[in-house]
A and B are shown apart, each in its own frame.
Chain A
Amino acid sequence: MGLMTAIEVASSGLTAQRRRLEVLVSNLVNANTTQPEGKEPFRRKDVIFSSVTPEQNFGAAFDLAMSGVRGVEVSGLATDRSEPIKRYEPGHPHADKNGYVSYPNVNAMEEMVNVLSATRSYEANLQAVNSAKDMLQKTLEIIK
């Protein structure tokens, strides 16, 4: 219904971007996590967004689907299958027999750019919530 739907849709965007931020931060904090030889090293992950109809109720969901209003949700996590970064550190307890340690395939710069992008998108959705809220407030002021 009207502006409430706008708020609902925007808040689905807020939730999705926050979850993305969580995943990105987990990549960043694990940038230097190593595993003993033979164990799978940490690999960077990213979220998969897909659009959904915002309402649970079938009738309302059908109407919204027809009207082209879409929320967003995190439909899954994708693991980056690229090769881990090998560093020559023979003294490291997790080094293989040639003295190489497998570090996660996380590039701090890349992650920071993604974090910025998630932050901006979050702000944009917040703006949408505030704008819809202002409009609701204005409607109330008609009869004041």
Chain B
Amino acid sequence: MRLDLFQEPIMDAMGNYMTRLSKRQQIVASNLANIDTPGYRTRDISFHATMEELLSQSPIPLRASHVEHNTMSSLAFAPLEPEVFTVSGLPLRADRNNVDLDREMLKLSETSFGFSVMAQLLRGKFRTLASAINDGRA
């Protein structure tokens, strides 16, 4: 079996997801910092929309006449610019601000948890590789 670590689309996808999560963390931090700023509206990043877009994208396979040719299959996981939008449906306070502390705290732990999971999985990937390098010895 050929293990091509740096062409593995799943690693790319995990990396992209982590980048996106850290972007989300920025947005949540920005919402929390502006919790008392008059007129500020809660912002968020669309995850599902971009995910659907990713899944609907069928990569056009390139023809490979040699086993070492790159068929660009990792293009399917190319990072899309995360879309920032203002969240609607949250009740406005008297100062025209609609940051909800509980919502933001939830997003904060959600993001942090997702990030931990990804980091753990990536670590597993590297462990596997390290194990292969060391002939199966830990």
Query: A residues near B, CB below 8 A?
Result: 2-3, 5-7, 9-10, 12-13, 16-17, 20, 48-51, 67-72, 117, 120-121, 124-125, 127-129, 131-132, 134-135, 138-139, 141-144
Contacts and interface: CB of A to CB of B under 8 A. Distances in A.
Majority-rule SS of A interface residues: helix
Interface of B: 18-19, 21-23, 25-30, 32-38, 40, 43, 84, 101, 104-105, 108-109, 111-112, 115-116, 119-120, 122-123, 126
Nearest to A5: B26
Contact of A6 (B29, B37, B104, B116): B29
B36 A20 contact: yes
A129 B21 CA distance: 15
A71 B84 contact: no
Contacts of A138: 115-116, 119-120
B115 A70 contact: no
Contacts of B37: 49-51, 72
Across chains A and B, which 3 residue pairs bring their CB atoms closest together, nearest first?
Answer: A13-B33, A68-B84, A138-B119
